[in-house]
Amino acid sequence: MQPLSIVCCLKKCDRNSHTIKYEVKLEPTPEQLRSFYRMSVRMSNLLRPINLVRMDERTKRIVMLVGDTIEIEIYPNGEVVTK
């Protein structure tokens, strides 16, 4: 599993103060990307709309909502679970 990369942005609000904003960027693993591509092509071939794709920050899983009823989770190791 890849470590999270943390990006620090320094933004000046006024002359004497600065605000530091930390933003956590999640990067999918290569296995997740391969599985995501494979599932996207399969759903597209079935003419199913992909309504939502999101990476869960807590579990580090990719979640896809397809059509009205299909939920797909892609684990960091690339394993695909369809609900």
Q: Are strands 62-66 and 70-74 parallel, antiparallel or unpaired?
A: antiparallel
Residue 5, pLDDT > 60, answer no
Alpha helices in 1-83 (DSSP H): 30-45
C-alpha span between 37 and 43 (Å, rounded): 10
pLDDT at position 64 is 96
Taken as a whole, the chain contains a residue count of 83
pLDDT at position 1 is 43
Number of structural domains (the chain) is: 1
Residue 75, pLDDT > 70, answer yes
Please answer whether residues 32 and 78 qualify as being in contact, where contact means their C-beta atoms are separated by less than 8 angstroms.
yes
pLDDT at position 4 is 42
- Domain residues for the domain of 9 are 5-82
pLDDT at position 10 is 44
- At 9-63, the pLDDT tens digits run 444 444 555 555 556 678 999 999 999 999 999 999 999 999 999 999 899 999 9
pLDDT at position 8 is 41
C-alpha span between 41 and 25 (Å, rounded): 26
Beta bridge partners of 24: 6
The Cβ of residue 12 has, within 10 Å, a number of other Cβ atoms equal to 9
